[in-house]
Amino acid sequence: MSTKQKRYFLTEEEIPTQWYNIQADMVNKPLPPINPATKEALKPEDLFPIFAEELARQELDQEHAWVDIPEEVRDMYKYYRSTPLVRAYGLEEALGTPAHIYFKNESVSPVGSHKLNSALAQAYYCKQQGVTNVTTETGAGQWGAALSYAARVFGLEAAVYQVKISYEQKPYRRSIMQTYGAQVTASPSMSTRAGKDILTKDPMNQGSLGTAISEAIELAVNTPNCKYTLGSVLSHVTLHQTIIGLEAEKQMQKTGEYPDIVIGCFGGGSNFGGISFPFMRHNILEGKQTRFIAAEPASCPKLTRGVFQYDFGDVAGYTPLLPMYTLGHNFMPANIHAGGLRYHGAGVIVSQLLKDKLMEAVDIKQLESFEAGVLFAKAEGIIPAPESSHAIAATIKEALKCKETGEEKVILFNLSGHGLIDMAAYDQYFAGNLTNYEVSDEDVRKNIAELEKVI
Amino acid sequence: MSTKQKRYFLTEEEIPTQWYNIQADMVNKPLPPINPATKEALKPEDLFPIFAEELARQELDQEHAWVDIPEEVRDMYKYYRSTPLVRAYGLEEALGTPAHIYFKNESVSPVGSHKLNSALAQAYYCKQQGVTNVTTETGAGQWGAALSYAARVFGLEAAVYQVKISYEQKPYRRSIMQTYGAQVTASPSMSTRAGKDILTKDPMNQGSLGTAISEAIELAVNTPNCKYTLGSVLSHVTLHQTIIGLEAEKQMQKTGEYPDIVIGCFGGGSNFGGISFPFMRHNILEGKQTRFIAAEPASCPKLTRGVFQYDFGDVAGYTPLLPMYTLGHNFMPANIHAGGLRYHGAGVIVSQLLKDKLMEAVDIKQLESFEAGVLFAKAEGIIPAPESSHAIAATIKEALKCKETGEEKVILFNLSGHGLIDMAAYDQYFAGNLTNYEVSDEDVRKNIAELEKVI
């Protein structure tokens, strides 16, 4: 560790009061989500049965670049924001790189990750509309913990479907959700038709985010006064997460530097979009040349090996069809510990941006991610979530390139969450029990081939 | 939870640059520690074989009220300090009390507790003296994690003896220590004479802080260039922890209020002393009437049911004799989940203050502590460490008294750490598997009777 560690904060007055909607500034707008029944472009009203109305409107809004953050949400943001922007001198020294590395530390939120930024917003809009119950899915449990917390804040009942493999690997995230008063069910479960269909075919099914989403949606549409909420992928979730990048932008000004590279780990895209989009706006509007790198797990490589095509967001096909980079909604990701990244597709905004080469993607193997996580813990004193370690690994790659070339590039990455609930995974890593879970070309082809039937 | 939540911080310039040594201001100074061999009052030199010299001097310093914090330690403090002072509107609303409740949130440190405040100082002074290896004991693992982190910062090798019951109950704190590069051994172990003596008599012995201290001291004195470090009890540890209360004092000024009651949980006294002594100084010097309440576990009641007498700080009798409230150094505390509070004695300063009625003590049963912890998590969104929940329980008692009387008292407590590594304990609580572990009068009498032989 370095005693030169330096943190940058914003004053309460400097904390942004609006989220940034990059759709308004994109030259090529994302293609519209499609109603699978009518094959027509989705209207906000089509989403009202599932989502709070304001969230449905935000989802499809391609006009307004700036969206006011409701005062009630800002009040709750103040409880943990601004989050620190940290100059990672320790990591720089450990790598011997001339690069200047910064990270935005979202792990300081009361639930330990960035997920709360959108959970508070979604719970607020539900409450405002008179909703009493919310459902959701969660992988590693970061989103579920955040939604449980946010539901508690706004007096809603929360029901969470947690991917079974994570429910078993990370029992303490379940305990956290329960401490906040949420009901937690391992998915696939026998409580929904979607879950039953899977379990009757495959009783040992370990679950996936796609399956848990199906279950949560099914519960929401069958429960009075209940709405579904989602932790990533969708555009309104990413919108809320732009608070990360908007703060980081102001904090970078205080450092006197501007990022050459911005990096985020990638599950559905909300954390990556959250840190990236406010900076990408300057690429789009002012011709800045910052590079944006999404770090996805090599075992779930939708950005680096998937196809850009309309697909369902869930396994059962309850969602609208989304134009996305996808491995096919039946792709069953390996049981990596970065449960939050085990999702077959990418959000529609990010997918369009990748197609248009406004961003890049890199795949990180599980062992490489843990190696990076341990190096970071020793260098900076914070144990990262396995998801965030993917961003760290990508950062290390770039920083080592700078070491070769001697370039003093400025690299900013998002530390999306801490790994204190993931210590069992670290134990497994130290014991040499983790593997890389390679995905064969055949696996990728097979699921993508099935997509032809979708639309 | 309340959307009125409010946090108070200090600017970097406002962070205190000195620790406060209450011994200088006490009218009745603590009695001196005694060398068990010579029966003479201890001099700093007597402690040099065990502790870094500067720490030994701090231990016995009754003259200087203010001690400069070394710049290298302040640099590391800046990485997480100031910690927030929070007005607990959510807890107030949940209790319906007119009291104004504040808490100092030490859980935001990178290792999740206040322990880092002293670990950094101890590791620094060791490094400065050319020490290469440090040993220590830990209960729940908060101190061990902090020392492992601090050793990493200053380039020292750390060996930690963790109380066996905690090593098994809380495996993930062990993983955290290992991630920072420390060597962790369950205590009692066969690696020391002290451990062997216990295990040969009682192979199923679950350990205690007193035993782990013996092992760590033994390793330190038998290892070249190695010093022992301690997480609580001793006066120099409490000195370092006064950064908590000194910050809180300045932060309370920003609220426009001054505490009527200050509360801390109590294991050896450093967290309690850390939050209390800077305020107690105004009682001593200016006649303020603030009450100070130490919240100890009912299963380890040295303050409420122990005796004030010279006793050893450890089971094997390796330490000097300390004038303390004690249950006898052979007292084996029950296996409560608040592992950090399982210690038979109280520090010499706190013991003198209690004897002189400058502070009070209250005992909290295990179930009451968890009930308080869950209420706090639901009201404030932060899951507290089981140790800290004792302070919360004591705060709730006082806040409910205010509800009866209608008094708007200002209560400040220290949230010494978060409970994210203690979720297994919460699970046990929710499952109804926890008990209160009452201590019989006979148990207390028996161990105290043995003390007659000590001096």
Q: pLDDT digit string (tens) for A120-148?
A: 999 999 999 999 999 999 988 999 999 99
Sheet holding A291-297, edge to edge: A6-8, A85-87, A100-105, A410-415, A261-265, A291-297, A360-364
**Closest CB to B382 among A6, A110, A420:** A110
The whole-angstrom distance between B169's CA and the closest CA on chain A is 13
Amino acid at A99: A
**Closest CB to A423 among B4, B6, B172:** B172
Residues in chain B within 8 Å Cβ distance of A377:
179-180
Residues in chain B within 8 Å Cβ distance of A6:
78
Preferred mutation among A111, A116, A423 to probe B, highest tally of B CBs within 10 A: A423
Contact B72 A3 (CB under 8 A): yes
Contact B110 A382 (CB under 8 A): yes
- Beta pairing class for B321-326 and B307-312: antiparallel
Q: What angle (nearest 5°) sits at the alpha carbon of residue A304, between those of residues A303 and A306? A: 65
The whole-angstrom distance between B142's CA and the closest CA on chain A is 13
- Give yes or no for residue B120 having a pLDDT over 70: yes
The conformational region for residue A82 under phi > 0 = left, psi -120 to 50 = alpha, else beta, is beta
Contact A175 B430 (CB under 8 A): yes
CA gap B52, B44 in Å, rounded: 10
- Give yes or no for residue B452 having a pLDDT over 80: no
Q: Residues B224-245: pLDDT tens digits? A: 999 999 999 999 999 999 999 9
**A135 touches A159 (CB < 8 A):** yes
Contact A152 B374 (CB under 8 A): no
> Taking the CB of residue A360, how many other CB atoms lie within 10 A of it?
16
CB pairs under 8 A between A and B: 104
Contact A171 B383 (CB under 8 A): no
Residues in chain B within 8 Å Cβ distance of A383:
176, 179
**A146 touches B381 (CB < 8 A):** no
**B348 touches B333 (CB < 8 A):** no
Contact B180 A374 (CB under 8 A): no
Residues in chain B within 8 Å Cβ distance of A149:
1, 381
- Give yes or no for residue B222 having a pLDDT over 90: yes
Contact A421 B424 (CB under 8 A): no
> ipTM score of the complex?
0.91
Contact A382 B3 (CB under 8 A): no
Residue A234's nearest CA partner among A112, A330, A364, A122 is: A122
CA gap B331, B343 in Å, rounded: 8
Classify the C-alpha dihedral A258-A272-A80-A415 as positive or negative.
negative
The whole-angstrom distance between B370's CA and the closest CA on chain A is 11
**Closest CB to A152 among B1, B72, B152:** B1
Integer angstrom CA distances of residue B310 from A335, B33, B35, B320, B452? 57, 8, 11, 9, 9
CA gap A149, A157 in Å, rounded: 10
Of all residues in chain A, the one with the smallest CA distance to B419 is A176
Strand partners, A347: none
What's the average model confidence in pLDDT over B115-136? 98
CA gap B122, B59 in Å, rounded: 12
CA gap B326, B441 in Å, rounded: 14
**Please, which contacts does A46-53 make with residues 24 or more away whose CB atoms are closer than 8 Å?**
A46/A320, A47/A320, A49/A221, A50/A217, A50/A220, A50/A221, A50/A227, A50/A228, A51/A227, A51/A228, A51/A229, A51/A236, A52/A122, A52/A125, A52/A126, A52/A128, A52/A129, A52/A131, A52/A227, A53/A125, A53/A129
Residues in chain A within 8 Å Cβ distance of B176:
383, 420, 423
Whole-number pLDDT of residue B357: 98
Residues in chain B within 8 Å Cβ distance of A179:
374, 377-378, 383, 423, 426
Contact A421 B426 (CB under 8 A): no
Contact B149 A381 (CB under 8 A): yes
What's the average model confidence in pLDDT over B287-316? 96
- pLDDT band with cut points at 50, 70 and 90 for residue B455: low
Contact A420 B423 (CB under 8 A): no
Whole-number pLDDT of residue B5: 75
Strand partners, A105: A415
Q: Residues B71-96: pLDDT tens digits? A: 999 999 999 999 999 999 999 999 99
Reduced to 3 states (helix: H, G, I; strand: E, B; else coil), residue B409 is coil
The whole-angstrom distance between A18's CA and the closest CA on chain B is 19
**A65 touches A24 (CB < 8 A):** yes
**A403 touches A97 (CB < 8 A):** yes
**Closest CB to B374 among A72, A179, A420:** A179
Of all residues in chain B, the one with the smallest CA distance to A2 is B153
CA gap A346, A369 in Å, rounded: 20
Strand partners, B360: B293
Residues in chain A within 8 Å Cβ distance of B426:
175, 179
CA gap B147, B169 in Å, rounded: 20
Contact B78 A5 (CB under 8 A): yes
In the Cβ-directed half-sphere of A85, how many Cα atoms lie within 13 Å? 28
The model carries a pTM of: 0.94
What's the average model confidence in pLDDT over B20-49? 95
Whole-number pLDDT of residue B3: 79
Residues in chain A within 8 Å Cβ distance of B89:
none
Q: Output the average pLDDT for chain B.
A: 95
**Closest CB to A421 among B1, B152, B420:** B420
The whole-angstrom distance between B313's CA and the closest CA on chain A is 31
**Tokens 């950005």 found at:** A303
The conformational region for residue B35 under phi > 0 = left, psi -120 to 50 = alpha, else beta, is beta
Share of chain B above pLDDT 90, in %: 88
Amino acid at A286: E
Per-residue HEC secondary structure of chain A comes to: CCCCCEEECCCHHHCCCEEECHHHCCCCCCCCCECCCCCCECCHHHHCCCCCHHHHHHHHCCCCCEEECCHHHHHHHCCCCCCCEEECHHHHHHHCCCCEEEEEEHHHCCCCECCHHHHHHHHHHHHHCCCCEEEEEECCCHHHHHHHHHHHHCCCEEEEEEEHHHHHHCHHHHHHHHHCCCEEEEECCCCCHHHHHHHHHCCCCCCCHHHHHHHHHHHHHCCCCEEECCCCCCHHHHHHHHHHHHHHHHHHHHHCCCCCEEEEECCCCHHHHHHHHHHHHHHHHHCCCCEEEEEEECCCCHHHHCEEEEEECCCCCCCCEEEEEECCCCCCCCCCCCHHHCCCECCHHHHHHHHCCCCEEEEECHHHHHHHHHHHHHHHCCCECHHHHHHHHHHHHHHHHHHHHCCCCEEEEEECEECHHHHHHHHHHHCCCCCCCCCCHHHHHHHHHHHHHCC
CA gap A360, A409 in Å, rounded: 17
Contact B423 A423 (CB under 8 A): no
Q: Where does residue B433 rank: exposed (0-12), middle (13-18), buried (19+ CB within 10 A)?
A: exposed
Whole-number pLDDT of residue A454: 67
The whole-angstrom distance between A335's CA and the closest CA on chain B is 21
Query: Low-confidence residues of chain A, pLDDT below 70?
Result: 454-455
Contact A152 B378 (CB under 8 A): yes
CA gap B33, B381 in Å, rounded: 43
The whole-angstrom distance between B138's CA and the closest CA on chain A is 18
Reduced to 3 states (helix: H, G, I; strand: E, B; else coil), residue B12 is helix
Residues in chain A within 8 Å Cβ distance of B430:
175, 178
Integer angstrom CA distances of residue B76 from A95, A191, B119, B247? 20, 51, 11, 16
**Closest CB to B179 among A3, A76, A377:** A377
Residue B450's nearest CA partner among B324, B337, B307 is: B307
Residues in chain A within 8 Å Cβ distance of B152:
1, 378, 381
The whole-angstrom distance between A373's CA and the closest CA on chain B is 10
Contact A72 B3 (CB under 8 A): yes
What's the average model confidence in pLDDT over B266-281? 97
Contact A149 B79 (CB under 8 A): no
Strand partners, B312: B321
CA gap A25, A64 in Å, rounded: 9
Q: Residues B382-439: pLDDT tens digits? A: 999 999 999 999 999 999 999 999 999 999 999 999 999 999 999 999 999 999 988 9
- pLDDT band with cut points at 50, 70 and 90 for residue B169: confident
**Closest CB to A383 among B3, B4, B176:** B176
DSSP B219-268: HHHTSTTEEE--SSSSHHHHHHHHHHHHHHHHHHHHHT---SEEEEE-SS
Check residues B440 and A274 and name the one with the higher pLDDT.
A274
Contact B378 A179 (CB under 8 A): yes
